[in-house]
């Protein structure tokens, strides 16, 4: 019997999946540790939704509204209602029809509810899509750099390499995108898709302009690239540009929805719209949603129908419009964004080498400074200035701080009040001032 | 640019992950299709929990009980309670302490709550464990054949090969287990663990006797094999043998819990107890639960705290004992099991070549017949005899009906009444009788 290096009851990290030792995991842990270590610091790091309007009573009301809907609109008796909430349910979920109506109402997206797979948040959705698309070592994904850590994490789990595409003020460098497709194909690789957050992306706050959206769909058409659209922040903007999926006429867009910001994070409900026809040996084989549903059956069986009922009830009580349901929240986010941009201008407007972008919605602002924003600086900021932010290099895959973003940081505005914003930006300005005057 | 075979907007199944075209997926779909096609047939196929005691009011009561607990036992104010339910939560979950008390109360398992990762049911738990353990193509898992389809599905997603170990009336053939370990190691493979359901396994209904449990722990000790213990049915038996985890003194057992049968399926809450120490370059690196938590962060972020609150409330309202909480359900399952075994004896006791095992708990009975139980027979049974069961060959990986179980079928007793059992077994006996007298 071949010998194995083994200590009884102990597991060596080096024997476990390599995602566990990826630098991006370590970097996320480090950010959490610093936040935990300095609880008194003002956090301009957390991308959590605003909490003022949360109320436990709402959970009960949403559940009741969904049960009423099952009786009234689906003709269920009490046993049917109870079974729907308590028992195993269909893998695709029980609120696909409500989600389809919401997408029609809020996004001008018109789909068959059968194309919807309800998932455990965006995160399970993107993992299912990547797991389905990652069939061999030839498969790669494109994504703008910097990119959302949830995308990077799912890609690690699915062992899908992510090739970076340069970001611009319009979201993505189309020339570089085409070049990456060309390079990949010359290497015999299959580019399975490109991940994009067209509205107020995490971490940059940047949106794609309308021309870029149309151009991306043309590229999808000509190259066969799937566009994986993440629209977590679309509702929270002064301007509302059409989603890629709303412009999609030929099934090039897989739409990943999240209720974490528009419903509530605690439900952990999201969804994938995947209406791409599947073929098997030239014959029709359903839609991509059917394939994702099969994978979901092996991963989580189905999304909790109780959690779905909570989100379904919220949709029902607001006539399927989360734009209307979130009118107060959207106003808070726009107010906070305005306050933050105003405070930055007042406190850092004359600072040489310091600049920031001006998103018109969403949760995030990118600040550029003329020095390195590494994790040591973050700890210094937390300890000595009482303010937290997120060094941008963490959104470049965490593999090498030289990969990008080392002169940038992300500010989050979602969880704050005007008073905390004023004080937080003042502390940030003090930190930046100290670096600019510090001896080199 | 290399050409790709591509139809705009269409995805070829052959370009997607191979789990989607695995025979076991096709077989599960076929079973569902037959069940949907013959809704009037008595289903002795569905392994769902009994529904009589479900009541939507309970969901509200459980939520309230958990909120009271947060105020009373954790000293939270209303904002804290609301935040716990609505907001993103810690990845390991918010009811690990309640689960630890339940395990002490019901299973004589004593663990630190920090070793618990709350998951989206058993299914996410087993996927996380396999994803963590599957680090390279050298890694394989052992599991008894036949085995639970949820294990097979998670292994497909994690690309973890499952090597079958022969089953016996005591659950597993220890000699064959040791032989498979030896063969794998001779081939330079790493046997990462052995999946086991010691109590009333799905699909066979078989339990491990106490001697086999002790022997497995000795083998784990001597070979370094992790035992992955699935205990979904442990509460539902006349006799209660100790869980492997209750006998585990040196961290050889990863315990996978499910509340689908003991709590409610609709919460989709399960958990993993993973108290194995991790080492990294010889230094301590936390516990296996910490690694699973990191992977979970990339897969589903955290389990819905609302769903956790529902299960937590049920635990709290029954003083942490799901044995007590399920006294009525357990009585129903024992009654149904007795009725089914009795009806089998009355109707098939004299039938040559027909036999069955006699589990003392759980949801399942294995029936052996002197002819092939293939899917054509199942459709014949549903259409012409009005009864559904599960051909056992589906639990042998679905790769080849010759792999095993072709003369066997699984009967489920969990969702039925005595009247339906009597009629269902009568119909099954009529089918069997027709096959025994049919011309060869």
- The ipTM value here is 0.96
Confidence of residue A1 (pLDDT cuts 50, 70, 90): very low
pLDDT of residue A321 exceeding 50, the answer is yes
| Average pLDDT of the segment spanning B201-206 | 96
For residues A209-220, one letter each, b for 16 or more C-beta atoms within 10 angstroms of the residue's C-beta and e for the rest, the string is eeebbebbbebb
Binned at pLDDT 50, 70 and 90, residue A377 comes out as: very high
Residue B401: its pLDDT value, please?
Answer: 47
- Out of A4-13, B274-283, B306-315, B355-364, pick the least confident: A4-13
- Residue B361 is given by DSSP the state B
Element (H, E) at A182: helix A174-186
Residue found under tokens 């959490």: A32
Q: Domain B59-324's class?
A: alpha beta
Count of CB atoms within 10 A of residue B33's CB? Answer: 11
Q: pLDDT tier at A28 (50, 70, 90 boundaries)?
A: confident
pLDDT in tens, B56-109: 999 999 999 999 999 999 999 999 999 999 999 999 999 999 999 999 999 999
Question: CATH number for the B18-47+327-437 domain, one of 3.60.70.12, 3.90.79.10, 3.40.50.12280, 3.90.1150.10?
Answer: 3.90.1150.10
Are residues A48 and B264, on separate chains, in Cβ contact within 8 Å?
no
Closest among B365, B361, B389, B364 to B375, alpha carbons compared? B389
Chain A residues in contact with B281 by the CB 8 A cut-off are 14
Pairwise CB contact (< 8 Å): B8 & A131: no
State residue B438's pLDDT score.
65
pLDDT score, position A238: 86
Minimal CA separation from A269 to chain B, in Å: 8
Q: Are B129 and B158 in contact (CB under 8 A)?
A: no
In this structure, are residues B47 and B414 in contact, taking their beta carbons and an 8 Å threshold? yes
CB contact (8 A) between residue B83 and residue A291: no
User: Does A229 or A4 have the greater pLDDT score?
Assistant: A229
User: Chain A residues with CB inside 8 Å of B55's CB?
Assistant: 82
Contacts of A13 in chain B (CB under 8 A): 278-280, 285, 291
How far apart CA A82 and CA A70 sit, in angstroms, is: 10
> DSSP code of B90?
-
Tell me the C-alpha distance between A356 and B270, whole Å: 45
pLDDT average, residue stretch B309-325: 98
Chain A CB within 8 Å of residue B133 CB: yes
CATH code, residues A17-46+327-437 = 3.90.1150.10
Q: Calculate the average pLDDT of chain A.
A: 94
Chain B residue numbers with beta carbons less than 8 Å from the beta carbon of A49 are 87
- Cα separation, A118 vs A274, in Å, equals 11
> Quick one: average pLDDT of B275-292?
94
Contact A13 B280 (CB under 8 A): yes
pLDDT per residue over A421-439, tens digit each? Answer: 999 999 999 999 999 986 5
How close, in Å, is residue A339 to chain B by CA atoms? Answer: 24
Is pLDDT above 60 for A382? yes
Could you tell me the two tokens for A95? 């609120």
Average pLDDT, chain B: 94
A132 and B CB contact within 8 Å: yes
DSSP string, B381-438: IIIII-EE-EEGGGGTTTS-GGGS-TTEEEEE-TT--HHHHHHHHHHHHHHHHHHHHS
pLDDT confidence of residue B317: 98
Q: Which residue has the tokens 């937290």?
A: A388
**Which residues have CB under 8 Å from A264's CB, separation 6+?**
A49, A54, A310, A311, A314, B86, B87
Structure confidence by residue, pLDDT tens digits, B321-355: 999 999 999 999 999 999 999 999 999 999 999 99
Q: Which residues contact residue B39 at a Cβ distance below 8 angstroms, ignoring those fewer than 6 apart?
A: none
CA-to-CA distance for B32 and B375, rounded, in angstroms?
12
- Collapse the DSSP code of B41 into the 3-class scheme (helix H, G, I; strand E, B; otherwise coil) and give the result: coil
Distance CA B363, CA B232 (A): 10
Please name the member of A87, A132, A303 whose beta carbon is closest to the beta carbon of B20. Answer: A132
Residue A400 has pLDDT above 60, yes or no: no
Q: Where are the beta strands (DSSP E) in B120-186?
A: 139-145, 162-166
Which residues of B are less than 8 Å from A28 in CB distance?
297
Element containing residue B315 per DSSP (H, E): helix B305-317
**φ, ψ for residue B93 (rounded to 5)?**
110, 170
In which band, very low, low, confident or very high, does the pLDDT at A402 lie, cut at 50, 70 and 90?
Answer: low
CA distances from B163 to A41, A336, A369, B191, B219 (A): 52, 57, 56, 9, 17
DSSP A349: T
The answer to whether the Cβ–Cβ distance between A10 and B277 falls below 8 Å is yes
Please tell me the distance in Å from B239's CA to the nearest CA on chain A.
27
Residue whose pair of structure tokens reads 């990986």 in the numeric block: B397
Among residues B368, B361, B93, B98, the alpha carbon closest in space to that of B240 is found at B361
How confident is the model over B136-145, as pLDDT tens digits?
Answer: 999 999 999 9
Cross-chain residue pair A18–B135, CB shorter than 8 Å: yes
CB A42 within 8 A of CB A427: yes
Which residues 211-240 of chain B have a CB within 8 Å of chain A?
221, 224, 226
* Selection from A231, A270, A233 nearest residue A248 by Cα: A231
pLDDT for A398: 56
Average pLDDT over residues B223-236: 96
Structure tokens at A15: 């024997």
C-alpha A73: how far from its chain's center? 33
* pLDDT at position A404: 84
- The DSSP code sequence of A246-307 is HH-SSS-EEEEEE-TTTT-GGG--EEEE--PEEEETTEEEEEHHHHHHHHHHHHTSS--HHH
Per-residue pLDDT of B373-401, as tens digits, reads 999 999 999 999 999 999 999 999 755 44
Q: Is A364 helix (H, G, I), strand (E, B) or coil?
A: strand
Q: What pLDDT band is residue B4 in, cutting at 50, 70 and 90?
A: very low
- Cis amide leading into A203 (omega within 30): yes
Of A89, A120, A276, the CB nearest to B11: A276
- Find tokens 């409610």 and name the residue: B264
Write the CB contacts of A355 (distance below 8 Å, at least 6 apart in sequence): A367, A368
Q: In chain B, which among 157-186 make CB contacts under 8 A with chain A?
A: 157, 181-182, 185-186
Which SS3 state, helix, strand or coil, does residue B329 take? helix
B202 CB within 8 Å of a chain A CB: no
B30 and chain A: CB distance < 8 Å anywhere? no
Question: Six-digit token pair at A101?
Answer: 């109506």
Contact B2 A288 (CB under 8 A): no
Give residue for tokens 């390991």: B92
Q: Does A26 touch chain B (CB under 8 A)?
A: no
Residue of B nearest to A293 (CA): B20
Q: What is the DSSP letter of A413?
A: -
Band of pLDDT at residue B6, cut at 50, 70 and 90 = very low
> What span, in angstroms and rounded, lies between the C-alpha atoms of B269 and B282?
35
pLDDT at A6: 45
- Give the domain ranges of chain B: 18-47+327-437, 59-324
d(CA A224, CA A190): 10
Assign B239 a pLDDT band (cuts: 50, 70, 90). confident
Closest chain B residue to the Cα of A50, Cα to Cα: B87
- CB-count exposure of residue A52 (10 Å: 0-12, 13-18, 19+): exposed
The answer to whether the CB of B381 falls within 8 A of the CB of B389 is: yes
Whether the CB-CB separation of B235 and B101 falls below 8 Å is answered with no
Distance from CA of B439 to the nearest CA of A (A): 39
Residue indicated by tokens 């039925």: B416
Whether chain B has a CB inside 8 Å of the CB on A402: the answer is: no
Q: What percent of chain A has pLDDT over 70?
A: 96
The yes-or-no verdict on residue A5 having pLDDT over 60 is no
Nearest chain B residue to A7, by CA:
B224
Q: Report the C-alpha gap between B99 and B270 in whole angstroms.
A: 10
C-beta atoms of A291 and B186 within 8 A: no
pLDDT digits (tens, 9 = 90+) for B94-136: 999 999 999 999 999 999 999 999 999 999 999 999 999 999 9
In chain A, what residues touch B28 (CB-CB under 8 Å)? 297
B242 band by pLDDT with thresholds 50, 70 and 90: very high
- Do you find a cis peptide bond into A67, omega within 30 degrees of 0? no
Q: Closest to A268 (Cβ–Cβ): which among B49, B134, B303?
A: B303
């Amino acid at each position: 019997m071949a010998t194995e290096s083994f200590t009884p009851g102990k597991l060596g990290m080096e024997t476990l999946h390599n995602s566990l030792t990826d630098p991006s995991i370590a970097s996320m842990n480090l950010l959490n540790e610093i936040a935990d270590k300095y609880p008194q610091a003002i956090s301009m790091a957390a991308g959590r939704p605003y909490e003022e309007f949360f109320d436990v009573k709402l959970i009960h009301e949403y559940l009741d509204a969904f049960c009423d809907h099952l009786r009234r609109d689906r003709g269920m008796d009490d046993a049917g209602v109870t079974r729907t909430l308590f028992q195993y349910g269909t893998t695709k979920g029980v609120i696909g029809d409500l989600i389809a109506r919401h997408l029609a109402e809020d996004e001008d997206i018109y789909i068959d509810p059968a194309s919807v797979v309800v998932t455990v948040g965006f995160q399970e959705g993107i993992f299912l899509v990547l797991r389905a698309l990652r069939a061999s070592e030839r498969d790669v994904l494109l994504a703008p750099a910097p990119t959302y850590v949830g995308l990077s994490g799912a890609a690690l789990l699915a062992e899908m390499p992510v090739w970076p595409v340069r970001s611009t003020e319009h979201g993505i460098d189309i020339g570089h995108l085409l070049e990456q497709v060309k390079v990949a194909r010359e290497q015999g690789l299959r580019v399975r898709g490109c991940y994009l957050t067209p509205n107020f992306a995490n971490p940059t706050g940047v949106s794609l302009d309308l021309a870029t959206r149309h151009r991306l769909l043309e590229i999808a058409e000509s190259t066969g690239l799937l566009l994986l659209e993440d629209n977590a922040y679309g509702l929270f903007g002064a301007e509302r540009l059409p989603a890629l999926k709303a412009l999609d006429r030929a099934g090039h867009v897989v739409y990943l929805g999240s209720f974490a910001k528009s419903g509530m994070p605690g439900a952990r409900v999201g969804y994938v719209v995947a209406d791409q026809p599947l073929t098997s040996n030239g014959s029709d084989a359903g839609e991509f949603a059917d394939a994702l549903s099969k994978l979901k059956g092996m991963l989580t069986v189905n999304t909790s129908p109780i959690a779905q009922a909570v989100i379904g009830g919220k949709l029902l009580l607001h006539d399927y419009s989360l734009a209307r349901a979130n009118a107060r929240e959207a106003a808070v986010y726009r107010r906070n964004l305005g306050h933050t941009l105003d405070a930055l201008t007042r406190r850092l407007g004359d600072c040489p080498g310091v600049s920031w972008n001006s998103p018109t919605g969403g949760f995030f602002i990118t600040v550029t400074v003329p020095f390195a924003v590494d994790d040591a600086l973050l700890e210094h900021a937390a300890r000595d200035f009482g303010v937290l932010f997120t060094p941008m290099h963490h959104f470049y895959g965490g593999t090498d701080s030289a990969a990008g973003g080392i002169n940038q940081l992300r500010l989050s505005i979602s969880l704050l009040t005007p008073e905390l914003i004023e004080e937080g930006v003042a502390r940030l300005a003090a930190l930046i001032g100290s670096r600019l005057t510090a001896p080199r």
